[in-house]
Amino acid sequence: MAASTASRTTGAAARTRRTLVEAATEAFAEQGVFTASLVDITRRAGQRNRGAVHYHFGSRDGLIVAVVDQHAAFLARREGELLELALERPDDDLTSVLEAIVRPAVELAEAGTDGRRYLMIIGQLVEEYDRVHPEVTAALERTGGMPVYALLQARLPAYDEALLNERMALVTSFILRSVADRARAHGSDAPGRAQLPTERFVANLVAMAVGMATAPLPE
């Protein structure tokens, strides 16, 4: 009897955590990772306890980690597969490296609304990468991007550190927002410009990202 009660309690806690993560994904994408109200997230999750987030995750940062971890394994696996292909290309080839960033993001975005929201959240966190909590940084690293970015950096021209960081951040933000915007347009009934088919969109976005990363140096 005691074991059965403990199992039900554990199952209920897991369901509560899941609904909080789903509500946070929606709220963070709509209102911002650092500005969305935890009380609003609790309400969206159908929880009466206003302290539910702190009880289950400890803090906003703990909740952000749980949100990031939702799709970290998928991104890490796909980026790893594409990274292996990029490593077989010549040392000056950027297209294959950037495809290892673009294609997994497109695949996730096209999986549904949750994937699109997730990418919007990742984009926000990447923009604030140097200021986020170390646990959030560790969660971002679990998405698998670090080896890909290391290869990208190695194949880029010899920029000074400040310019390199700026270009890497802008390229990443451009990719994530472009993918999320396309997914949002596909899920909307509002009129808008025609969207490219998936493969052409991927090829074009990769080409544009290469152009951004290698644009002529400012005077």
Q: Could you list the mean pLDDT of each consecutive 10-residue stretch along the chain, which spans 219 residues? A: 54 90 95 95 91 94 97 96 97 96 94 89 86 94 91 94 91 89 72 84 97 90
Q: At what angle do helices 113-127 and 161-186 cross, to 10 degrees?
A: 160
Break the chain down into helix, strand, coil percent, rounded to 5: 75, 0, 25
Q: What is the DSSP string of 120-151?
A: HHHHHHHHTGGGS-HHHHHHHHTTTHHHHHHH
Query: Which pLDDT score is estimated for 144?
Result: 87
Between 1.10.3860.10, 1.10.10.60, 3.40.1410.10, 3.10.20.30, what CATH number should domain 2-64 receive?
A: 1.10.10.60
Query: Which pLDDT score is estimated for 190?
Result: 65
Query: Which pLDDT score is estimated for 184?
Result: 76
Straight-line distance from the first to the last Cα atom of the chain, in angstroms, rounded to the nearest whole number: 75
Query: Which pLDDT score is estimated for 4?
Result: 55
Pairwise CA distance, residues 49 & 16, whole Å: 11
* Structure tokens, 167: 């270009």
Domain parsing of the chain, residue ranges: 2-64, 71-213
Backbone phi and psi for residue 194, each to the nearest 5 degrees, phi listed first: -65, 140
Query: Which pLDDT score is estimated for 21?
Result: 97
Pairwise CA distance, residues 96 & 91, whole Å: 11
- Total residues belonging to the chain: 219
- Tens digits of residue pLDDT in 37-81: 999 999 999 998 888 999 999 999 999 999 999 999 999 999 999
pTM of the model: 0.85
Query: Which pLDDT score is estimated for 145?
Result: 84
